[in-house]
Amino acid sequence: MTQHHDATAKSKPVLIPLTGIVLGVAMFLISWLAADAPGVGLVMLGIMLGYAALMRFGQRFESVQVLSQDPPLDERHALIQLHALRAAYFAVLGVALIGFFWEISRGEPGAFTLIAAVGGATHILATVILRRRL
């Protein structure tokens, strides 16, 4: 079991950047071929290539190590991830709610309405499930 865990840990510095590159190429191709917007696709590809490079070559920095470790290395890293996830959740929630109110003020519910509904329902469901498990 230890050998499998060691092999998995060694492949992670390559797996995450490769996934980022594949997603970046997919974003570029979809933007270019489906929306005829290759410029937007190139920007998204550039962002994903930057992320992939950071995740591959930035492993000496603790912040990058925290991002790439699953499970976390220790309790401190787990706490950092929990707080970062909470901050991201509140940022997305704020944008979704502002967008939701903007959409309903125009009488046209759309993507923000869907994101707000899915986020709210997921939060409620996860709270109920986790309350019973933890």
Predicted structure pTM score: 0.64
Which residues in the chain show pLDDT less than 50?
1-2
Q: In the chain, what are the domain boundaries?
A: 1-70, 72-134
CA distances from 112 to 14, 47, 94, 108 (A): 34, 23, 11, 10
Check: CB of residue 102 under 8 Å from CB of residue 112.
Answer: yes
For residue 58, the model assigns a pLDDT of: 82
For residue 11, the model assigns a pLDDT of: 54
Measured CA to CA, the distance from residue 70 to residue 119 in angstroms comes to 23
